[in-house]
Amino acid sequence: MKKLSKLSIFDECMNPELSENEMRETVGGNGGDYSQNWCFFNCMAYLHKEYRGYNIDASSIATDYFQGTANTNDDWNGTGDIKDYAYGPMAYTDKERTTPNQELFDYMSNYFETDTGSWEQNKVSSLFNKNGSTASGEYVVGIFGSSSGKYHAVIFESYSDGKYKYYDPSYKTESTVDEKYVQFAGKVTGYKDF
């Protein structure tokens, strides 16, 4: 008969399956509240509210992204990766961080009209009008990186003198970010009716 032993939290923390950086990004002192990792899903919820006038919570969008069950009239089948739900989707698909996650764009394009077929990576400012704003009813969803190497999705509102003004649906705040931290973005021009 096997002897059962008591595990300590300390021992478990000393043998993680995630790297220290991954643990900090996903656990990050938020008490296990997944929603802090759902910045992309919060942006999607914000767009649903702006275009359709109704609230969809980020957890429903996260579930749909993972399982593909929210809309039976679309082509989205879900990623099937529980980590996308638990930790939020990855910004890049490669370790070198050169290839933006196309699944994010495809998922966004499933519900919203977009002006391109993929993320704009090099000239994000080209998504704005000459005066640095978007047209009425247009939104620029983008990802920027912090100095810690963590990425965050927001709604970029305007561009001027090397800075992007953005609205952050996760924290319901406005701020600016220097263009050198902006990784990629895509323009949403309308809502798709099914």
CA 78 to CA 26: how far, in whole Å?
Answer: 21
Domain boundary assignment for the chain: 36-191
Beta carbons within 10 angstroms of residue 159's beta carbon: 23
Q: DSSP readout, 78-91?
A: ----HHHHHH---S
Give the confidence band of 39 by pLDDT, cuts at 50, 70, 90. Answer: very high
Query: What order do you get walking across the sheet with 151-160 strand by strand?
Result: 112-114, 182-191, 139-145, 151-160, 163-168, 173-178
Q: Is the pLDDT reported for residue 12 higher than 70?
A: no
Q: Which residues on neighbouring strands pair with residue 47, listed in sequence order?
A: none
Helix or strand (DSSP H, E) at 153 = strand 151-160
pLDDT recorded at residue 56 = 92
Contact 127, 120 (CB under 8 A): yes
Residues listed for the chain:
194
Average pLDDT over residues 164-171: 96
Does domain 36-191 bear CATH number 3.40.640.10?
no
Q: State the sign of the Cα–Cα–Cα–Cα dihedral 176, 180, 181, 186.
A: positive
Tokens 């561009």, located at residue: 159
Contact 158, 133 (CB under 8 A): yes
Give the confidence band of 20 by pLDDT, cuts at 50, 70, 90. Answer: very low
Helix axes 39-52 and 58-67, enclosed angle (nearest 10): 110
Residue 96 structure tokens: 């070198």
pLDDT, tens only, 70-128: 877 778 899 999 999 988 899 998 888 889 999 999 999 999 999 888 999 988 999 99
Percent of the chain with pLDDT over 90: 60
CA 38 to CA 57: how far, in whole Å?
Answer: 11
